[in-house]
Chains A and B, each alone.
Chain A
Amino acid sequence: MKKSIVYIYLIVVTLNFSCAQDAENEVGTPSNIPFTAELLIDELQIPWGMTFLPDGSMLVTEKSGELIHFKNGEKIAISNVPSIYARGQGGLMDVVLHPNYSDNGWVYFSYASEEGSEKGGHTVITRARLQDNSLQDIEVLYKATPNTTKGQHFGSRIVFDDEGYLYFSIGERGARDVNPQDLTRDGGKIYRLFDDGRIPEDNPFVSTAGAKTAIYSYGHRNPQGLTKHPETGRIWDHEHGPKGGDEINIVEKGANYGWPLITYGINYSGTPITDKTEMEGMNQPIHYWVPSIAPSGMAFVTSDKYKGWKGSLLVGSLAFQYLERLTLQGSKVTNREKLMGDLGRVRNVRQGTDGLIYVAIEGKGIYKLVPKD
């Protein structure tokens, strides 16, 4: 009798261990929240991008095409915004300042545009100056081609590195078997340019015949998070997988991230895309999410404002509607925490120049995380 109880106990314990999900893929809810979320800008629909001007004001993009300057508690509509192709996931997307904004005044935008002869739209990267509540000196730096009426995967995050290079993402535009692995085509790539749109001579595919020479890395699906690691200075991305298989990658020059030849996800219908999760010559993610959280927005915490948060990575979840904090040891994810649950789809997260964290939630607005002390 006693023996059988011990056996049953052992079997149960063993089963539990063998069924346990990889701890990496478990998200916990912390009991100690080091902030109070204060709604700073209300009544926004889909606040896709946001950035902080030196005077403490903010620029916010609405996906529908409005550019808002939030200053002294007021929303000022900026005019002369380029014409936006608002379809599916496309619209007015990211907004980022030049690292030397105070000197040159350049503001960078991404949006979906119909420019070109084909029907449909594709991602554009542009820069402009803000003058008298209007965009001036508009310069298109990159327009992906050809247009398509597909509604998905515009990518569109923008970031600068420490040397002043401009990086941006363009998703595969719903053509996974056509675009991401083909260097002669736009989409499914991360790109690198000089701040004025010129192509750096040492970009990895400048001497590859037919290649789009702005490409820096490829085999991506739809990166909607792009940020610079505060210590290494390297560019990190996260990207939407299909059903499962969202990824965090460290972007390397010329590297192939494998979509759709390798993935940890499956089709929405439940059928497999491939049975391969790795292949030679293709980079592995440093983390992947199963099930998909649908990540959007990505920021490292570099300030000391929130106890225990410095060095961790914040990511918005559209699907599960929360803000995720990932604790890192180097490039290894050691813990995941769920914050700000049930407010809505978290579209973006940034650290402001004041060291505070700002979170954009669809249907609500921009929240400021006020530290508790």
Chain B
Amino acid sequence: MKMILFFYIAAIIGASILLHQEPKLEESIQRGAEIYADFCVTCHMGNGEGVPYTFPPLAKSDYLMNNREASIKGIKYGQQGELTVNGIVYNNIMDQLGLEDEEIADVMNYILNSWGNSSDQMVTLEEVQAVTK
């Protein structure tokens, strides 16, 4: 009986966190879509498919999904040099974009939840602020 009660409470708390987060995540993704269209689409393309051997894909990208902090860092400070994405080695340069931390969180949430990507954990402003050079 105690166990059941424990799970019940845990489930309620879990659901309330999820439900509370979802509209926030949804809004962040929507803002992120706009940032994506302004800053990212010219290289990473409309469906996050990138350009093989030139600009790495974001859609179903193993690098993006497994390297959350490094991805935030790349957007925040720019990126240069070799990078392996889905088995292809890229060696290019992404300029520092000049985005605000809030915008970086939004665009991260957008790319983590688009084109077949999905992530349970929302990227927050605090998380972006914590990433340093």
A interface vs B, CB < 8 Å?
45-46, 63-64, 85-88, 90, 150-152, 174, 243, 267-270, 294, 319-321, 344-345, 362-363
- Give the residues in chain A near B92, CB-CB below 8 Å: 344-345, 363
Mark interface residues in B37-62 (1 if CB within 8 Å of A CB, else 0): 11101110111000100100000000
When A and B form their complex, what is the total count of cross-chain residue pairs whose Cβ atoms lie within 8 Å? 52
- Interface secondary structure of A, over-half rule: loop
Q: Which of A151, A269, A321 contacts B98 (CB 8 A)?
A: A151
Most buried by B among A45, A86, A268, A319: A268
Give the distance to chain A from B78, nearest Cβ to Cβ, in Å. 8
Are B37 and A64 neighbours in the complex by a CB distance under 8 Å?
Answer: no
Q: List 21 A-B contacts (CB under 8 A).
A: A46-B95, A63-B95, A64-B96, A86-B96, A86-B98, A87-B97, A87-B99, A88-B38, A88-B98, A151-B38, A151-B39, A152-B42, A174-B38, A268-B46, A269-B47, A319-B43, A319-B51, A319-B54, A320-B54, A321-B54, A362-B93
B129 in contact (CB, < 8 A) = no
Alpha-carbon distance between A152 and B98 when the two chains are bound, in angstroms? 12
Contacts of A243 in B (CB 8 A): 46
Q: How far is the CA of A63 from the CA of B39 in the complex (A)?
A: 15
Interface residues of B (CB under 8 A from A): 37-39, 41-43, 45-47, 51, 54, 80, 92-93, 95-99
Contact A344 B93 (CB under 8 A): yes
A85 / chain B contacts, CB cutoff of 8 Å: 98
Expressed in whole angstroms, the minimum distance between the Cβ of A359 and any Cβ of chain B is: 16
What distance in Å separates the Cβ of A241 from its nearest Cβ neighbour in chain B? 11
* A112–B57 alpha-carbon span in the complex (Å): 29
Could you tell me if B93 and A152 are in contact, using CB atoms closer than 8 angstroms? no
Q: Report the nearest A residue to B100, measured CB to CB.
A: A149
Q: How far is the CA of A90 from the CA of B39 in the complex (A)?
A: 11
Assembled-state Cα–Cα distance A321/B41 (Å): 17
